[in-house]
Amino acid sequence: MTLEHVAIWTDQLEALKDFYVKFFHGVANEKYTNEKKQFYSYFLTFRSGARLELMSMPGIPGNKNDRVKAQHKGIIHLAFGVDTMQEVDEKAIELKAAGFPILGGPRKTGDGYYEFETLDPDNNRLEVTTVYNK
């Protein structure tokens, strides 16, 4: 069994799509539009085959959790894998230069990963990670 996709509600549909296309090489389908419901979405497909659905519709309430400084129950981050520690470092430098905060790392974790944490334009937490030899 595979995880088919993860979905994110947003008020910045185009900006979020552009972020994941530019920095994570997602390939977006044509925008889906349901004018009756004022629902709009994109599916982005990544190299691994994983997909991310970005959705927008009036009336969806904002997330009341502090996703920047605090953790909370439920889905807390998306992780993007790269092949090397150098790629982790390069992506951290690229995102920082583009104005996105680096919340932690790059660092080696106790469970064999090398990673850093950042935020997308909607303040969703992201990790960029690779496995390293301890």
- DSSP for the chain? ----EEEEE-S-HHHHHHHHHHHH--EE-PPEEETTTTEEEEEEE-TTS-EEEEEE-TTPPPP-S-TTT---SS--EEEEE-SSHHHHHHHHHHHHHTT--EEEEEEE-TTSEEEEEEE-TT--EEEEEEE---
Does the pTM surpass 0.95? The reply is: no
What pLDDT tens digit does each residue of the chain (134 aa) get? 888 999 999 999 999 999 999 999 999 999 999 999 999 999 999 999 999 999 999 999 988 887 778 878 888 899 999 999 999 999 999 999 999 999 999 999 999 999 999 999 999 999 999 999 75
Domains of the chain from N-terminus onward? 5-56 (3.10.180.10), 77-131 (3.10.180.10)
